[in-house]
Amino acid sequence: MNENPRSTISAFIVCCNEERQIRRCLESVAWCDEIIIVDSGSTDKTLDICREFTSKITHKEWQGYVKQKRFALEQCLCDWVLNVDADEEVSGELKEEILTILERDQRGERSAVNGYLLNRVVFFLERWWRKGGWHPEYRLRLCRRSATTWGGEDPHEKASVTGGTAKCKSELHHYSFTDLTDYMRRMNTLSSNATHTLLNKGVRPSLIAITLRPLARFFKFYVTRRGYREGTAGLIVAVIEAISVFLKYAKVWEAVKVRSDDARDMK
């Protein structure tokens, strides 16, 4: 018999070819009442690892971050949902904090709060980034299922809840990049996804966007978020973040130029 009755919780993860990291993620949510996996076609050992933790595994062709997580949310059956990515880990302190929230929810305490923002802390270049750049970064990842929808714009999906929200004090660990090469590769992919979103919204290229937005990103990471406190590492991250923004708008320019050239050639 459970000595501390609590509301139930589903953890859901969308993934594809994550054998390198997903075990750490799954181990950190093994205490949840159910684990939902939505895989978009893994060809490595990802699914073998997932089967050690859950039988609730669904294949769904990749349709973008928003639609993939929206589908995963629909598979959840418990009172609350916890979304974690394959490269994330629920810290021991965060686990205990969430369990306390669920126990209080069962007792009817804080019933107006339907979502909790988790403080995601990045591990990169052999350090936790608690002093600048990505910090602080709060994401709405713990939500009452009945009050939650998933939206946003690719690649920046996000949960939306009706009712109040609060912040958890403990950390969600994020092992986002293995090294600088992986960082640059991911930035290239994410900038391409963001470019498609901008084009679909009718955004057109401008010299101001291509020049000033990257500078603004550098200033935010290095000065406003005080990335300079991380020394050379802080400078490197701020520069790469600026490059990612530059790529996004440069790719918009390229796409519009190609369309314009194609239309001219057809005349």
Reported as a single tens digit per residue, the pLDDT across 17-63 is 999 999 999 999 999 999 999 999 999 999 999 999 999 999 999 99
Question: Of the candidates 174, 201, 229, which is a domain's last residue?
Answer: 174
The answer to whether residues 98 and 8 touch, using CB atoms and an 8 Å cutoff, is no
Tokens of 191: 């900038």
Question: Of the candidates 174, 196, 221, which is a domain's last residue?
Answer: 174
- Rounded to whole angstroms, the Cα distance separating 243 from 156 reads 18
Cβ atoms < 10 Å from Cβ of 205: 18
Looking at the fold, whether 151 and 255 belong to one and the same domain comes out as no
Looking at the fold, whether 127 and 240 belong to one and the same domain comes out as no
Greatest CA separation for the chain: 76
Does residue 132 surpass a pLDDT of 80?
Answer: no
Looking at the fold, whether 184 and 150 belong to one and the same domain comes out as no
Query: Strand 57-59 to strand 34-39: parallel, antiparallel, or no bridges (unpaired)?
Result: parallel
Looking at the fold, whether 73 and 152 belong to one and the same domain comes out as yes
Q: Residue 154: inside a domain, yes or no?
A: yes
Mind listing the pLDDT tens digit for each residue in 136-189? 899 999 999 999 999 988 778 999 999 999 999 999 999 988 899 999 988 888
Q: Residue 41: inside a domain, yes or no?
A: yes
Closest CA to 38 of 86, 79, 98: 86
Looking at the fold, whether 70 and 126 belong to one and the same domain comes out as yes
Does residue 265 surpass a pLDDT of 80?
Answer: no
Q: Residue 137: inside a domain, yes or no?
A: yes
Does residue 266 surpass a pLDDT of 50?
Answer: no
- Tally of structural domains, the chain: 2
- Phi-psi sector, 163: left (phi>0), alpha (psi -120 to 50), beta: left
Looking at the fold, whether 133 and 211 belong to one and the same domain comes out as no
Task: Find the domain containing 69 and state its range.
Answer: 9-174
Looking at the fold, whether 167 and 50 belong to one and the same domain comes out as yes
Q: Residue 235: inside a domain, yes or no?
A: yes
Residue 106: pLDDT band (50, 70, 90) is: very high
Q: What pLDDT shows up at residue 239?
A: 95
Looking at the fold, whether 104 and 128 belong to one and the same domain comes out as yes
Residue 264: pLDDT band (50, 70, 90) is: low
Model pTM score: 0.85
Share of the chain above pLDDT 70, in %: 96
Looking at the fold, whether 99 and 225 belong to one and the same domain comes out as no
Q: Residue 4: inside a domain, yes or no?
A: no
Mind listing the pLDDT tens digit for each residue in 207-258? 888 999 999 999 999 999 999 999 999 999 999 999 999 999 999 999 888 7
Looking at the fold, whether 13 and 110 belong to one and the same domain comes out as yes
| CATH number of the domain to which 131 belongs | 3.90.550.10
